[in-house]
Structure 1
Amino acid sequence: MVPVRLVGPRLAMREYHHTDGDVDALHALFGDPEVTRHLPFEPCDRESCADQIELYLEEAMAEERDTYRLAVTRLVDAEDPQDATPIGHASLTLGTYRSAHLGYVLGRASWGHGYAGEITGLLCDFAFRTLDLHRLAARVDVDNTASARVLTKLGFRLEGRARQDRFKDGAWSDSYRYALLVDEWPGPTG
């Protein structure tokens, strides 16, 4: 495995560690009903989060890696971001024809600080410049206006609305589909 480490002005992204600290941090995200409100799964218990990190590490070790699930940390939390406690989660899942799907989630204490934009920008730069991808896509719950604003601000274009594509809490919901092409990406500084 070649470990991924992305660094922005305020945030860093790194591989997960199978430690109590990273498991607790992922559980703080995926176990919070408010944080998972727009995600396609119900809140998870701590054991499920530990299993997830084990899966993330297996994916990272794959001979031909097609999934990147990264811990998001603040740069000021530790001298070395490798040791910092995660405040969020970012993912990039490669598809066909040099494409990928990206996603991110932040803990409630980190909402409203512009971190989602920085995460998305770092993922775009990694996808287009390092992985040489051509297209990035993102799915956004129709009620998640904050995430839609983040993507639009970074140049993603709305491609359509998928009707009743998710079933959660006993109800169907719609989502918006956004995409960004490599020649539309201005780079991290815009």
Structure 2
Amino acid sequence: MQTLTGKNIFLRALEPEDLDFLYLLENDETIWEVSETQVPYSRYILREYLRNSHKDIYEVKQLRLAISGLDNTLLGFIDLFDFCPKNKRAGVGIVILDDQKRNRGVGTEALGLLMDYAFVHLGLHQLYANIAADNTASIRLFSNLGFEKAGVKKDWNFSGGHFRDELLFQKIKK
């Protein structure tokens, strides 16, 4: 069984051809709140990021994978960040770019594949996700895959002129 291949999608390393998609994603102001981005990214910076994306997770403490349909259509990205081998944990982030692919199982399958990879191949004990309290789709996604709400960070993010709560979800390997 291949860990990064599912029934309808597979997770793969980033490719130079992902530049245009990455450029649209990183410069989409509607998701800057989630990524804590405040300025646009140039194609040059993103090209350099792609050029270095092969570096080992143990070196750079993060891993971004492309979510691809079995027909090689790029559907989104899924990340491990704040990778901490000492404490055997990492954060998880996911974005599905096409509104028509959301709520159709792509995120569930991608997150399931990433969880298997993290727990089996990286030997992690836990994964966590930071989710805006009003992001019901993400709360449902992570909850359905066994993540449990561990806490509320009050007034954590400032967006749209006011503070918003952020929830911490954890999945601890049993």
Tell me the TM-score normalized by structure 1: 0.77
Name the aligned partner's letter for residue 98 of structure 1: K
- 1:154, distance to aligned residue in structure 2 (A): 0.6
2:110 partner SS: helix
Question: What CA distance in whole angstroms lies between the structure 2 residues aligned with 1:30 and 1:110?
Answer: 19
Relative to structure 1, the CA distance from residue 44 to residue 120 in structure 2 (aligned partners, 3 Å threshold; closer, same or farther) is farther
Matched, 1:158 2:149: yes
Question: What do the CA deviations read for 1:128-147 (whole angstroms, capped 9, x no partner)?
Answer: 01111001101101111010
> Who is 1:14 aligned against?
12
> Who is 1:80 aligned against?
none
The unaligned stretches of length 5 or more in structure 2 are none
- 1:46, distance to aligned residue in structure 2 (A): 6.2
Higher mean alpha-carbon deviation, 132-141 vs 163-172, is at 163-172
1:51 partner SS: helix
1:51 to 45, 49, 57: 45
Q: CA RMSD for the aligned pairs?
A: 2.4
Q: Is the 8 A contact 2:33 2:159 kept in 1?
A: no
2:75 to 69, 84, 87: 87
2:114 to 118, 123, 130: 123
> Who is 2:35 aligned against?
40
1:30 to 2, 26, 32: 26
Size of the aligned set, in residue pairs, is 168
Large movers: runs of 4+ above 6 Å: none
2:91 to 92, 101, 113: 101
- 1:72, distance to aligned residue in structure 2 (A): 1.1
> Who is 2:69 aligned against?
74
Q: Percent identity?
A: 27
2:74 partner SS: coil
Tell me the TM-score normalized by structure 2: 0.83
Name the aligned partner's letter for residue 58 of structure 1: N
Higher mean alpha-carbon deviation, 111-120 vs 52-61, is at 52-61
Name the aligned partner's letter for residue 12 of structure 1: F
